[in-house]
Amino acid sequence: MASNSQKLTTDERAYLIGRVVLLVVLAAAYVIIFSQTKPMAAVSRQGMYLADLSILAAGTVGVFAAVFWWRVQVQRAMLVVLVPDLVALAGFVYFGMETDAFYPICILLPVIYALVVRKRQAWMVGAATAVAYIAAHALYPHFTSTSYIVFAFKVLVIPLVGVMVAGTVAKQHEQAAEVEAALLDNAEVTDRLARRVSELQAVSEITEVIHSSLDFENVGPVVLDIVAKLIDIESCTLFIVDRQESETIFSASVGTNNHAALRDELDAMAEFDGLDDHFTCTSVFDRGEIMVLFCAAADVIARLAPEDSLIVSAVASELVVAVENSRLYKLTKRLAITDELTGLFNYRHLQHRLDEETGRARRYSKHLSLLMVDVDDFKLFNDSYGHLAGDTALAELAEVMRKSVREVDLVARYGGEEFSVLLPETDAAGAYSVAEKIREAIALHAFADPDGVRCCRLSVSIGLATFPSHADDKEPLLREADDALYAAKNGGKNRVRSSQKHLPPAPPVDHPESTEPTEPTGDHS
């Protein structure tokens, strides 16, 4: 019952309260009118009043029972009890005919009905009330024609008041509906504005994160996590694809464990038209050689709102710029430490790594060896075949040296035709072995003349020094390796010499030209 009461409108509650108030007022009037002892002549009038009051009370009880017990709609219940209400009304009018004391009830009844029923039904209730009023007067024996004009006016007022109230209530309902619709629209607009503001703040945050670092491998997943929370997606993956190279240049995932498999599948696909029925991709950026794919569950992709797609596209555009900046930064950084001709590390990077490796070797009591390599009679090669052939020979020589050492070793161009090889955790004996491999590999390599014919041979002289056996710091290590190289040059070239400091001189070794270069191992010690 309580829950049903809560569903009643304000007008329906007003109708029910109005019935109760009317019943209470009429009951109070009964007490006032008949409080004193009346002659027997008044007994019949008292019975008439009680009968009318009982009919009205029964109708009120019936309405409440129908609404709260049988759960009948208020409008339907009140129309059912309209006839008993009219009968009670006519009785009250007849009772107070001399002074027409109950005429206000004839006005009140259509009014309380007009709170709920429609305007057309209000006309019917008002007309029926007017008929009941006329009938009560028609039955009264002392009704005179001299009051016809006033009577007609009163009859006309009854339905007019009810209709006016019904019209006012209907207008109020329309205005309330308009206000409610406007409030809903305003709330929707406010929600949209709030969402747009939060999206703009998120995009601003994303842009700041994107451009806060050139190390995009760490920034990208953070950005995608913000996007996923913004558009309310539990798991998604983003790929930036270089279509010209047919490779994925960047990818990030949130809430998915099949990131690597998806990336492999993308790299193998010729056209990016979806991965499977459960996880699909859509292009959110496509310009030139770069395309950005946003991948998520198929139903998630299907229900993406235009605003969400716009956000993802805007973020994708920023990501592409950031990736390009990151690639340019890495390229610039690599070029800054790379020799343009040979592709080896340059003198500047060699000095930086020497500082790092000598410090590391000192902290952990490790060996560190340095080879200084110089091409023998390279000026003669240049004079004989030209500088272009000489540049080509230096590039090939660099490649031969790179293939003769481990990945952890560093090969650098020291300057001109002089090179350096840094060997971490390698003692003098291991360094000598590596130096011999390099020397033999270069001696057996056929270099090309200006016509591309591989007919030319080159040799190198190598000096080596080891930390801490020969030197206790970077500068002494360089000096000792350079002195050893000078000794190799003076000793006949095409040979390896180690620093003489604290070590006996290395025995001379004959190097037959037919000896095949050995493959480098992973351990120089």
**Cα(464)–Cα(284) distance, integer angstroms:** 57
Contact 313, 202 (CB under 8 A): no
Strands of the sheet with 368-375, listed across from one edge: 410-415, 418-424, 368-375, 460-467, 496-498
Tell me the β-bridge partners of 281. Answer: 295
**Cα(387)–Cα(450) distance, integer angstroms:** 9
Burial of 459 (0-12, 13-18, 19+ CB in 10 A): middle
Burial call 77-92: b when 16+ CB within 10 Å, e when fewer: bbbebbebbbbbbbbb
Single out the residue of 256, 312, 243 nearest to residue 282, CA to CA: 312
User: Choosing from 12, 318, 396, 417, which is the catalytic residue?
Assistant: 417
Three-state DSSP class for residue 365: coil
Three-state DSSP class for residue 202: helix
**Cα(55)–Cα(26) distance, integer angstroms:** 12
Burial call 496-525: b when 16+ CB within 10 Å, e when fewer: bbbbeeeeeebeeeeeeeeeebeebeeebe
Three-state DSSP class for residue 427: coil
Beta-carbon count within 10 A of 408 CB: 12
Tell me the β-bridge partners of 369. Answer: 423, 466
SS3 content of the chain, % helix, strand, coil (to 5): 60, 15, 25
Does the annotation count 217 as an active-site position? no
- 84: its two tokens: 């008993």
Contact 425, 368 (CB under 8 A): yes
**Cα(485)–Cα(464) distance, integer angstroms:** 7
Contact 357, 345 (CB under 8 A): no
Contact 463, 481 (CB under 8 A): yes
Catalytic residue positions, numbered: 417
